[in-house]
Amino acid sequence: MDFIESRDLLTIPPLAKEVWRMEMMSPERQLISPFFLGGEVIRISYPTNTMGHDAKRMSMRGNNPHFNRATVHHELIPGHHLQGFMNRRYSTYRAPFRTSFWGEGWALYWELLLWDKGFAESPEDRIGMLFWRTHRYARIIFSLNYHLGNWTPQQSIDYLVERVGHEYANAEAEVRRSFTGGYGPLYQIAYMIGGMHFYSLYQDFVENGGMSAKGFHDRILKEGSIPVRMVKSILTEEALEKYEIADWKFADYVYTH
């Protein structure tokens, strides 16, 4: 929060700073959720006294301080906790249009932006942030392959261990969560595509358009959880036609930077 406020990136309501809570996940819950989860309550995945020694060591390695530092802002502020806080207070009539491309995309976008702003203070912090970026891409690959019938759960686990560097137990739990947690086939790709949507808007409106970062971020949070293409329409004051939405080449920045 200090990092964000000192750079005037976002308005954080005082109450939002106070009302988040923290709880420890049980060993049983960690079999499905091997990493921190969050919203108004951030749920901590870490060793408990009933775990075996090897399981404790894997949990500690998979949730080391540098990995955790790269996830807390995704879960709390400016991520899911702040999103929920604002959604319950602004544009509440848009709740039926809620989409993971907005919800997870916004939280992922802040991972990208904070990397650009130098949030990682040490080489270990940078490795932590890059680990999670690799994890986000790997989630897309294994989940789509699974839903398309190309991979088994075991192949997905092996992919996370071999290509990302997950602890084996954490890879098992991550795959178990993806396939038994009620997530649709596009949920994992929504993180990255939604994040790229917001990152593209930031380039257009803040980096190249003269809008303040705080004004940009505050406006988005007050407009509610809606498809990010509609966020763009609001920011540009675009005249929309029913059933006709202009193409948006939101990934152009990838090829120009």
> In terms of pTM, does the model score above 0.85?
yes
Residue 111, C-beta contacts closer than 8 angstroms, at least 6 positions apart? 70, 73, 74, 129, 132, 133, 136, 195
- Asked if residue 256 has pLDDT above 70, the reply is no
- The pLDDT assigned to 33 comes to 87
Q: What percent of the chain has pLDDT over 70?
A: 98
Q: Which residues of 21-50 are buried (b: 16+ CB within 10 A; e: fewer)?
A: eeeebebeebebbbbbbbbeebbbbebeee
Task: Supply the mean pLDDT for the chain.
Answer: 93
Give the model's confidence band at 254: pLDDT under 50 very low, under 70 low, under 90 confident, else very high.
Answer: confident
Residue 26, SS3 per DSSP: coil
Query: pLDDT-derived band of residue 204, with 50, 70 and 90 as boundaries?
Result: very high
Closest to 230 measured CA to CA, from 196, 185, 184, 197: 197
> Which tens digits make up the pLDDT trace of 21-53?
999 999 988 888 888 888 999 999 989 999 999
Q: For 226-242, write each residue's pLDDT tens digit.
A: 999 999 999 999 988 88
